[in-house]
Structure 1
Amino acid sequence: MLRGVFALPAPVKRLIVGNPVRRDGQELALDVQFLLLMMRLEGERRLAGGTVDAARRGLARGQAYLAKVPARPVKTRKVDAGGVPARLYEPKGLKDGSPLLVFYHGGGWVIGDLDTHDGVCRYLAVHAEVRVLSVDYRLAPEHPYPAASEDALVAYEYAVANAAELGADPQAIAVGGDSAGGNLAAVVGVMAERTPDFALLFYPATDMSVRRRSRELFGEGFYLTDDDMVWFSDRYCPEERRADPAVSPLLAEDLGGFPPTYLATAGFDPLRDEGEAFAERLKEAGVPVALRRQEDLLHGFANMWPLGGRFREAVSEAAGALRTGLYAGPRSKT
């Protein structure tokens, strides 16, 4: 029903939502404005806040509304990635020796799991022609920093060491993720002994030590709020450790060894400026990086691809960048 509502003609949706939303020289996509209205009508639900269990149930419920799989079948199986639970996605007909994406789900290091990000993993697997290993890292507050970053690194190292068993090319292994998962992928890119071959970062959290302008501009009314970010941060990492590179990879001393990167930010996202600052530091370090601001979208757009329109366009672009980066990029590592 939700997807049917989004299929309404644009003039009808504009009549329903009213005037366009403009901020910082950007105009919010009509579909995003429509989605925010529907969320308000359902009842103002915060992404975080309250109890941890309630926040986790809320994200799972929201993703259930968006459940949809690509037309091409994808089989899955459980993997023990060096003691870290994971799920391997293999599109039908994909030959052995394909590239592999090690994916870390978002959710502020506190919520989210393999199921909340099942749809985006399937989409990337099919449209980038890759296997995807989705990592079920430990969550805070039960397992605060550095548990998530440790699990992220262990799972990546497992993938490198066991690529053949996973049906993958050991010389074409990417890391990727959204939000907190993008943070973990960036941490692996900084810390891994064997540098990944590519990084796919959706609106990553890259610096927990300071507040940037986008957090003030978009900290209320655009899905991820400033209060949410405080709630997540307080449960994940104590303030005195937030400048650690394994929490804030933007602050790493040397980014010269980071892999080629596609980094997508959202225009109406509190995390926008720190993601773009990370891309700028990569460029300064000589790393090939494609920064793409999806200026009319908001935080979380990767999981919203089943709604079509601009959501799907943005994720399709990212999948194309991943496919190009892994199939056309360097195929050897020292």
Structure 2
Amino acid sequence: MPTLPRSIPYRVQAAVLRAVFALPEPVRRLIAGPPLRIDGQELALDAQLLLRLQSLVEQDGLAADTPEAARAAMAASVPMVAGERIEPVDARDLLIPGDAGPIPARLYQPEGLAEGSPLLVYYHGGGWVIGDLESHDNLCRFLAKHAGVRVLAVDYRLAPEHPFPAAVDDALAAYRYAVAHAEELGVDPARIALGGDSAGGNLAAVTAHGAATRGEPRPTFLLLIYPAVDASTRRRSRELFGHGFLLTDSDMDWFMGHYCPDPESHRDPRLSILLAEDLGVLPPTYLAMSGFDPLRDEDEEFAKRLAESGVSVVVRRHDDLIHGYANMLGVGRRFREAVFEAVGALRAGLALSPAGATGNGGPAAGAAADRGSPGDGADQVTS
């Protein structure tokens, strides 16, 4: 995530970011530079301004010399853009049994939410190498509060210490735990959704597919935010947006080199879910993608395959945004608007499920309709 020069204390950096984004629009435009247009898309001013501030840092992208360094950089930078902690949301840590040992997790519960609510099992992004419960804490709080659901965030094992398919195994174990312990978690076992961003979106889709093909309970809904879905093919969007838009081409090689270095495994559906033969087993899905994202074209293709397979899918292409926007709730307005739209999709998907057709109530009812608005570039595909 973007930061200012590392010699400046982080609290000062955060103050500078807030001050810059509070400037009048003409001044912000002057700092960001002329509007950037690529492939018929215009980058949002908020995104361009953030990237301009990122250019003050020597590092371009998310990778680093070592995984440890990349994790430290993410841990330091996410609070810069995530915003003030979202309250009132109760959060408690727990351990989920896994074949390789306990899996850390965190359960979020909005204030006043009744027992028997829906649950979103959420897998964080970070290329299967970086990210953790803390990096996505505010995003999970946001989803819990405004969607009126409990959220179970999963701290799956990371590569290269635990390469593919360790993360897949942990993701499935967490979902099974949620189903088996629904009453203990205070949730309705018939209204459990899976979600994630980037690598986490990959794990959510792979987990839903794995459960369905094994004859296990199928999640009610999938919330996928710019998911990685195909490691086997290099597409045009990776050439167009592989440099200068946060997630870089070299980042993608770096992440995959740590997570799944064997090219023979890149076509495994547990990694490249786009290549699975039976996508029709997936539940109704909301798939959001960014226009200025190396993953854009594989997400477009995945959406098309879902629709062709008979999956009810709503596709949202935010033409003006970059990869990683879901973690940028504390700067500007455009990123928050996009996440509010995902909240609305989650609420609708859970409410329209057979078990949730009468509605789930909760303190946040109607929040998605009242707050935020979608940006330009919406595409919807339903089946």
TM-score (norm 2): 0.85
Secondary structure of 2:90 counterpart: strand
In the alignment, does 2:107 pair up with 1:88?
yes
Q: Do the aligned residues in 2 keep the contact of 1:81 with 1:159 (CA within 8 Å)? A: no
Q: Deviations over 1:189-243 (max 9, x none)?
A: 1111221100000000000011111111100010000000000001001211010
Residue 322, structure 1, aligned to residue 346, structure 2: yes
Which ranges in structure 2 are unaligned for 5 or more consecutive residues?
Answer: 1-14, 357-383
Match of 2:271, SS state, is: coil
1:237-256 equivalent positions in 2, closer than 5 A: 237=260, 238-256=262-280
1:1-334 equivalent positions in 2, closer than 5 A: 1=15, 2-69=17-84, 72-82=87-97, 83-192=102-211, 193-237=216-260, 238-331=262-355
Report deviation, 1:3. Answer: 2.3
Q: Which runs of 5+ in 1 are unaligned?
A: none
CA gap of 1:91–1:308, structure 2 versus 1, over 3 A, is: farther
Contact 2:288 2:315 in 1 (8 A): yes
Corresponding letter in the other structure for 1:220: H
More divergent stretch after superposition (4-13 vs 209-218): 4-13
Equivalence for 2:6? none
Relative to structure 1, the CA distance from residue 198 to residue 217 in structure 2 (aligned partners, 3 Å threshold; closer, same or farther) is same
Number of equivalent positions: 332
Q: How far off is 1:71 after superposition?
A: 5.2
Decide whether the 8 Å contact of 1:104 with 1:135 is kept in 2: yes
> What SS class does the counterpart of residue 349 from structure 2 fall into?
helix
Task: Supply the distance in 1 between the matched residues of 2:140 and 2:84 (Cα, whole angstroms).
Answer: 10
| 1:51-83 deviations in Å (ceiling 9; x for gaps) | 111000111111021243465411111122223
Is the CA contact (8 Å cut-off) linking 2:83 and 2:331 kept in structure 1? no
Cα deviation, 1:12-68, whole Å, max 9, x if unaligned, reads 111122211100000000111100011112333430131111000111111021243
Distance 2:345 2:330 in 1: 19
Change (3 A) 1:69 1:101: farther
**Structure 2 CA distance, aligned partners of 1:198 and 1:103?**
12
2: CA distance, partners of 1:19 / 1:43: 22
Separation (CA, whole Å) in 1 of partners of 2:354 and 2:297: 30
| Inter-CA distance 67–203: structure 2 relative to 1 (3 Å threshold) | closer
Letter paired with 1:292:
R
Mapped to 1, the partners of 2:32 and 2:73 lie a distance apart of 24
How far 1:4 sits from its partner (Å)?
A: 2.8
Report if aligned partners of 2:221, 2:350 keep a CA contact under 8 Å in 1: yes
Asked if 2 retains the 8 angstrom alpha-carbon contact of 1:28 and 1:296, the reply is yes
Contact 2:222/2:284 (8 A) holds in 1: yes
SS at match of 1:306: coil
3-state SS of paired residue (1:270): coil
Partners of 2:46 and 2:333 within 8 A in 1:
yes
| CA offset digits 1:296-322 (Å, max 9, x no partner) | 000000000221311000000001110
Percent of aligned pairs with the same residue? 62
Task: Tell me how large the CA RMSD over aligned residues is.
Answer: 1.2
Q: 1:67 to 1:26 in 2, by over 3 A?
A: closer
1:71 and 1:301 mapped to 2: Cα distance? 17
Deviations 1:249-290 (A, max 9, x none): 111110111010000000000011111211111100111000
Secondary structure at the residue paired with 2:355? Answer: coil
d(CA) in 2 for partners of 1:3 and 1:325?
A: 34
